């Protein structure tokens, strides 16, 4: 077969994969290099990252509007060291998509260049733990940022605004804008992803989250995601309507799960293991738009060095439904900070303590009890580094 015909066949197969509603085959890298590939510019066309190559982010890399980045199962992506405007991160900008569908046996790993993990370690069945970094080392690179066109609740001195710049990206970069009016917007698929050692400092007291979701719409799929040892929050949702399912936040230095600007989605089945004592921070609207968020079916291992932090922190204007959450390893000083917020409801919230009095700031409610009762389905997390280390319970 001549070279021209080979190239034509490859392009045809690739096009079918990228644009078919139900792809059944992942194309093979036509030029396998089995080494690092440095990514030092934005992704401006449909692109596939192959599992035989380690992709090295040499800075802030954006997938620009109208383009799709497809990442094969078992692929490793590593961010270079850097702070401020030089922080490395992968940004799925508004109007673009990421199709990163790992599997239980072949998860996709986002990590630091200092991490010696390789695709071969994953494919050999040795798991996804780092060969050389412990799971409490944070701040070595940025993180993963996904931005969409769904509604947010934001305002400035002139009143309500429909779009803003995501934290961590300079205002000079238009790829950092998020928000709009398309609540069913689709930013792609994230499945079986481990994000670790991130959250580098981008300014005074300002770090990048493990997974940042800004104005992400409900047609986006986010399931089976692990964030390990991030300098800031594990997960943070800025408005939007996206749902999350089966997530782990382990050893992050700020909140396990944080919401802002009236995120209107559902978090279903989660484990938060919090050395800092921060767990759920659920903020209310900043503008006129209001939406209810639902947090359900979670196990929380809450103890940490900073014992004055809240187990659940809500604003007085937060709208949230919380149910089936079990807090264990709670220590004095940790509280559910506001049980009197008028639009926050609690149901089957169990705290593993003898008496609730010291752990609730506000009037005790029937939906909050003391005792022991696991709420999450932890079997779905067997693929994670957190599970293999014995941290999940």
Boundaries of every domain in the chain: 35-388
Q: Are 379 and 264 in contact (CB under 8 A)?
A: no
CA 189 from centre of chain = 12
At 243, is the secondary structure helix, strand, or coil? strand
| Separation between Cα atoms, residue 184 and residue 218, nearest integer Å | 5
pLDDT of residue 118: 94
How large is the average pLDDT for residues 342-357? 93
User: pTM value?
Assistant: 0.90
pLDDT of residue 87: 86
Render pLDDT for 111-125 as a digit per residue (tens, 0 to 9).
999 999 999 999 988
Answer yes or no: is pLDDT of 353 > 70: yes
Query: Which residues, at least 6 apart from 353, have a Cβ–Cβ distance to it below 8 Å?
Result: 330, 359, 370
Render pLDDT for 256-306 as a digit per residue (tens, 0 to 9).
999 999 999 999 999 999 887 789 999 999 999 999 999 999 999 997 665
pLDDT of residue 32: 57
Strands 36-39 and 54-57: parallel
Using pLDDT thresholds of 50, 70 and 90, give the confidence band for residue 28: low
| Separation between Cα atoms, residue 53 and residue 63, nearest integer Å | 19
Strand partners, 322: 295, 346
| Separation between Cα atoms, residue 77 and residue 247, nearest integer Å | 20
| Separation between Cα atoms, residue 248 and residue 299, nearest integer Å | 10
Answer yes or no: is pLDDT of 34 > 70: no
**Burial track 225-237 (b if 16+ CB lie within 10 A, e otherwise):** bbbbbbbbbbbbb
pLDDT of residue 233: 94
């Amino acid at each position: 077969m001549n070279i021209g015909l080979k190239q034509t066949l490859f392009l045809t197969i690739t096009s079918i994969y990228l644009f078919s509603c139900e792809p059944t085959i992942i194309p093979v890298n036509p030029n396998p290099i089995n080494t690092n590939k440095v990514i030092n510019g934005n992704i401006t066309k449909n692109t596939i990252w192959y599992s035989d190559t380690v992709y090295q982010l040499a800075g802030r890399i954006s997938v620009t509007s109208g383009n799709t980045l497809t990442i094969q199962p078992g692929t490793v992506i590593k961010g270079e060291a850097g702070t401020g405007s030089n922080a490395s991160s992968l940004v799925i900008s508004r109007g673009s998509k990421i199709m990163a569908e790992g599997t239980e046996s072949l998860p996709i790993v986002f990590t630091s260049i200092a991490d010696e993990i390789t695709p071969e370690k994953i494919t050999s069945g040795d798991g996804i733990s780092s060969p050389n970094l412990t799971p409490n080392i944070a701040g070595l690179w940025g993180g993963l940022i996904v931005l969409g066109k769904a509604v947010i609740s934001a305002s400035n001195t002139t009143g309500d605004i429909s779009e803003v710049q995501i934290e961590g990206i300079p205002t000079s970069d238009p790829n950092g804008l998020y928000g709009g009016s398309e609540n069913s917007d689709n930013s792609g698929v994230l499945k079986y992803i481990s994000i670790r050692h991130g959250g580098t400092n981008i300014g005074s007291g300002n770090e990048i989250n493990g997974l940042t979701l800004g104005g992400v719409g409900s047609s986006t799929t986010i399931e089976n995601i692990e964030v390990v040892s991030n300098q800031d929050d594990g997960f943070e949702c800025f408005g939007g309507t996206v749902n999350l399912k089966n997530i782990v936040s382990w050893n992050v230095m700020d909140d396990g799960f944080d919401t802002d600007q009236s995120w209107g989605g559902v978090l279903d089945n989660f484990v938060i293991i919090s050395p800092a004592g921060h767990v759920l921070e659920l903020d209310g609207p900043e503008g006129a738009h209001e939406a209810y968020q639902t947090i359900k079916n979670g196990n929380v291992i809450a103890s940490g060095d900073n014992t004055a932090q809240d187990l659940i922190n809500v604003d007085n204007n937060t709208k949230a439904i919380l149910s089936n959450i079990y807090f264990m390893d709670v220590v004095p000083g940790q509280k559910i900070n506001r049980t009197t917020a008028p639009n926050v409801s609690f149901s089957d919230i169990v705290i593993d303590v003898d008496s609730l009095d010291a752990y609730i700031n506000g009037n005790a409610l029937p939906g909050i009890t003391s005792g022991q009762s696991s709420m999450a389905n932890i079997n779905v997390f067997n693929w994670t580094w957190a599970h293999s280390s014995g941290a999940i319970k």
